[in-house]
Amino acid sequence: MGLWEIMTAQRTWWHLEGLKKKPSDYDISTSKLLYYTNRGFEVHTPSGEWLLTQQKNCPLQVTDWEQFRDPRETTYTKYTMLQNEKEIYVDGLLRSVDETGYDQRLTPQWLATLSGILGPILYPTHGLQMIAAYVGHIAPSGRLVVTCALQAADEMRRTQRFAYRLRQIQITHPKFAQSGKALWQEDPMWQPMRMAIEKLLVTYAWGETITALNLVLKPAFDALFLTQLACLAERSGDEILTKVLASLEEDTRWHREWMQAFVTFCITESPKNAMFVQSWIEKWVPICDAAIAPFLSLFETKGASVRTSVRQLQNKLWREAGLEGISA
């Protein structure tokens, strides 16, 4: 029998044959990647029991988690290409700092402000990385695993870019941001944020974890330490940081986009899911508000309330996902 003789009508994977279009690379390489979700595990280990229990006990339930899609349809290839482009751009910005004696021109007042942010902020961004990785490992669909893993990687990018910039400034200003860990652990300004991150680290019911992370805390954290900080940097004559932050902000825009798609999917599947998500939002909003409160005055300008703009951003995200907003 020649090999061509066994040619069949089958054109794609077994589970994509009903697809009415030619499967994309995203369809081919991200669908049904978790084989255990309906059958469980062949062995019983403590970590395996933990995973199954968290999946089973999650109030968010849909008929088929496989139907969730990342709106950007991010595959590994697409991700590395996209992020490499961004990193080349940021490298160019940072290189220009070395070439132009840029850091000598930063004002003492701006350096003092930035010092109190760039040192400690590496710890909460690492925390955000850990929390995204947690949801990724527990997620009941392969596509959710992938989005969470890539979001965690974006947080690594942010942490490393902050660390790089910090060290770069230290070359010109050796005393800059020397006590990041101490500020993170002791400065009253950072303590409500630290409490929020630590509490979220031990929030193991993954539906609540991802809601608190991507619908409440991160939109506020990112608005403050990317968008608002970028404006402050611009006002303080640090246009390089403004541009670096804008590139990092692009990553977080995707985090909000896929999260919105995820929530919309959950609510469309079952309106009950909206109730759960809403209750988690209500639980975490006060914690988040307290976490960002100490920083608001830092970013305030006349006639513009940062608190209001953060809440507007959150409300927009919630409403577009099909949830209710909360007054500022």
Q: Interaction with another protein in 280-299: which residues (CB under 8 A)?
A: none
CA distances from 77 to 69, 74, 214 (A): 17, 8, 24
- The footprint of another protein on this chain (CB under 8 A) covers a number of residues equal to 86
Among 22, 33, 57, 279, binds another protein (CB under 8 A): 33
Asked if residue 117 binds another protein (CB under 8 A), the reply is: no
Please pick, from the candidates 19, 29, 172, 326, the single residue that binds another protein as defined by CB under 8 A.
29
Minimum Å gap between C-beta 66 and another protein is 12
Residue 37 three-state SS: coil
> Are the C-beta atoms of residues 143 and 70 closer than 8 Å to each other?
yes
**How near is the Cβ of 279 to another protein at its closest, in Å?**
22
- 110 touching another protein, by CB under 8 A: no
Q: How many residues does the chain have?
A: 328
Residue 259 neighbours by CB under 8 Å, 6+ apart: 210, 214, 215, 317, 321
The closest alpha carbon to 256, from 287, 289, 295, 213, belongs to 213
Nearer to another protein, 122 or 317 (CB): 122
Q: How does DSSP classify residue 31?
A: T
> For residues 40 and 271, which CB has a smaller minimum distance to another protein in the complex?
40
Closest approach, Cβ 95 to another protein, in A, equals: 6
Q: Where are the alpha helices (DSSP H) in the chain?
A: 25-30, 46-57, 76-100, 108-138, 142-172, 180-186, 191-201, 206-211, 218-222, 229-235, 239-269, 272-299, 306-320
DSSP letter, residue 304: B
The interface mask with another protein, positions 119-138, x = CB under 8 A, is: ---xx--x--xxx-xx-xx-
Q: Which is nearer to another protein, 243 or 311 (CB)?
A: 243
Binding to another protein in span 186-215, by CB under 8 A: 191, 194-195, 198-199, 201-202
Least distance (Å) from another protein to the CB of residue 196?
Answer: 9
Axis crossing angle, helix 272-299 with helix 191-201, rounded to the nearest 10:
160
Examine residue 147 and tell whether it contacts another protein (CB under 8 A): no
The answer to whether residue 314 forms part of the interface with another protein (CB under 8 A) is no
- The neighbour count for residue 7, using CB atoms within 10 Å, is 8
Q: How far is the CB of 311 from another protein (least distance, A)?
A: 24
Shorter beta-carbon distance to another protein: residue 14 or 303: 14
Binding to another protein in span 149-188, by CB under 8 A: 149-150, 152-153, 156-157, 159-160, 162-164, 166-168, 171, 181, 184-185
CB 215 within 8 A of CB 318: yes
Task: Collect all residues with Cβ–Cβ distance below 8 Å to 4 and sequence separation of at least 6.
Answer: none
Q: Taking CB under 8 A as the criterion, which residues in 62-91 touch another protein?
A: 75-77, 79-81, 83-84, 87-88, 90-91
Q: Which stretch binds another protein (CB under 8 A): 65-73, 141-149, 299-307, 310-318?
A: 141-149
